[in-house]
Chain A
Amino acid sequence: MSFRRTPWVIVLAGAALAFVPQLGLPAFYDSLLYLMLHWVVLATSWNILSGYSGYFSFGHGAFFGAGIYTSANLMARHDWPFLWTLPAAAGVAAVLGVALGAVVFRVKGVRGELFALLTLAITFVIGTIVVNTPLDGGNGVSLAAVPVPKIGPTPSATFYLLALAAAVATLLIAWAIQVSKFGAGLFAIHDDEDAAEVLGVPTYRYKLVALAISCALAGMAGGIHALFLSYVTAGDVFTITVPLTVVLMSVLGGTRHWAGPAVGAVAITGLLYSFTAADHAVAGKAMIGVILIVAILFMPDGILERVRRLWQRRR
């Protein structure tokens, strides 16, 4: 088991990728890579709860959105510097998630499909609240006046580097959980929650912690994304797109491994952009649906698992 090597591999890869902006590629690439890393964070964070423990949430959009709006409002209305809004965004999203989980996880019957539907409903409830209150007010929040900190040579490079840092952190956290006692408990919950509980796994607490971590990371990604978009509207954020995409990326890459969602994220983002570049954006969306279907029918364990098994057979 390449146990202790993995975190170093992640960190070194991150450090190496930090030099990409120095290559002086056109801004388009910085943005594309930013988006890939952005989805790596979203998909991996989603997987920490949903993939590991089996509690498939369709509400990742709500927490991501909470992060976006926290950051946006702090920057636009209260003049907070951008970087300080990120921990706030993570915090708000985590609190929201824990509040939800504290209630929902107590109810024994809400698992599987019901949990998925409930979390989907949460997304729309929060979206509606945001639209109708001064948080958005129906007009969105404009961040055009907010300065982008000079972390990289250009603004798009800055976002890339921020997303890179977030991705490295998220991957490290996902790996650390997977190999820890906490992760073992989550995997046990995935297979048989009642048996796990009887074996001594504190299921309620573990699910809440996983949810909190997942939401905090999504919130942080949201905070970064708010400034990237520079104009935020509730209608674009609180939709079914984020949950659908993260589910797809994780299922495609493999939900039982820390790197699975990242593989899926890079693959899907790459595919989508090759479609958009070729001017077939709508077909791209259809493609996503097709891929999800194919993945569920033929590769229920994900790409990573399939590859790993082939590798093992070679040995």
Chain B
Amino acid sequence: MNFTLPSLSLLSQSILSGIFVGALYGLMGLGLSLSWGLLRLINLAHFAFAFLAAYLCYQLSTMGMDPLLTMVVIVPAFFALGAGLHWVMVRFRVMPFNSLLLTFGLTGIAESVIQSIWTADFRKLESSYAQQKFKLAGLFVPVPELITLVLAVGLTFAVWAVLRYTDLGRAMRAAAQDAPVAAAFGVNQKALGLALAGTCAALASVAGVCLALSFTLAPSQMYAWVGVVFAAVMLGGLGSALGPLVAGTVIGISEAITMAVTAPSWAPIVSFTLLIVILVLRPGKTA
């Protein structure tokens, strides 16, 4: 392990890119956290959704559509997909642990589907945004990453506000805390559950679009995100809207610093170690 002390500008740039990637972690984690915290379902297929959305965005863009505009098509489609998956899980009364296994299986299928359609080759979305960047206070700010940050922050706060201030949000939180009692108060759990699952999938698809804008895609890449995003979700607290974003940013910055100081291949250790530490020290916070 070689330690090299980077220059201030390199460090600042690293931290900035850490913030950007952290925002994406947060965006990806948002749907997962809601699903786990409010629906008690661990949805590994979340990553499959994100990547499928990313590939779809790639596909539609190469066919001429503006990448951001693809969301108009993609987001509703994934809302439906997420709600459908949830319907199946409820129908078969899949327990929380089995939901992990089942979505594990789905992720494997998704990977195969992606690989068969788009092959295992790396795919990079060449969009008008990709080339744009501007300078802010001496640091480079790439536009795709900026879009990601804006979307992540915006959606996080939107979700937070809905959960906190609207009747719908309160109903969801009530159902999560004590379902039978909530039902006695007229909260329609089934519909809420489907709506929430659909929203989580929709959020995943937005994350996927951001992914397509900033990163090179490959089917095997799906698993690379699993650890990091789970770490963000757990650090931020299950069911929390703001948690994944905050935690994701923390992780992103830590990773960036690690990479700047040592070597990029050491980066995965940061998130996974954080995850392990959190699980061992404060498992109560997550359950």
Contacts and interface: CB of A to CB of B under 8 A. Distances in A.
Direct contact of A and B (CB under 8 A): yes
Interface of A: 56, 103-104, 107-110, 112-114, 116-118, 120-122, 124-125, 127-129, 131-133, 138, 239-240, 244, 247-248, 251, 282-283, 285-286, 288-293, 296-297, 300
B112 A282 contact: yes
B87 to A, nearest CB: 13
Contact of B105 (A124, A128, A288): A288
A61 to B, nearest CB: 11
Contacts of B265: 128, 131-132, 138
A286 B112 contact: yes
B272 A124 contact: yes
B134 interface: no
A129 B105 contact: no
B269 A103 contact: no
Contacts of B102: 292-293, 296-297
A125 B92 CA distance: 35
Interface string B251-286: 000000000000101101100110110011001101
B220 to A, nearest CB: 8
A251 B107 CA distance: 17
A285 B276 contact: no
B4 interface: no
Contact of A109 (B113, B227, B272, B287): B287
Main secondary structure of the interface of A (DSSP, over half): helix
A285 B286 contact: no
Nearest to B263: A132
A285 B112 contact: yes
B116 interface: yes
Contact of A114 (B108, B116, B268, B279): B279
Given A248-B105, A288-B105, 12 more contacts: A114-B283, A117-B275, A121-B227, A121-B231, A121-B272, A124-B272, A132-B263, A286-B108, A286-B113, A289-B108, A292-B104, A296-B94
B92 A122 contact: no
Contacts of A125: 268-269, 272-273, 276
B146 to A, nearest CB: 29
B100 interface: yes
A293 B110 CA distance: 13
Interface string B101-127: 110111111111101100000000000
Contacts of B279: 104, 107, 110, 114, 117-118, 121
A138 B264 CA distance: 12
A112 B109 contact: no
B97 to A, nearest CB: 5
B97 A112 contact: yes
Contacts of A107: 279-280, 283
Given A117-B275, A128-B265, A296 B116 contact: no
B99 to A, nearest CB: 9
Contacts of B268: 124-125, 127-128
B266 A117 contact: no
Contacts of B110: 289
A292 B227 contact: no
A121 B106 CA distance: 20
Most buried by A among B100, B110, B286: B100
A201 B275 CA distance: 30
A192 to B, nearest CB: 15
B62 interface: no
B167 to A, nearest CB: 31
Contacts of B234: 117
Contacts of B108: 244, 285-286, 288-289, 292
Contacts of A290: 105, 109
Given A290-B105, A293-B105, A285 B272 contact: no
B109 A289 contact: yes
B269 A251 contact: no
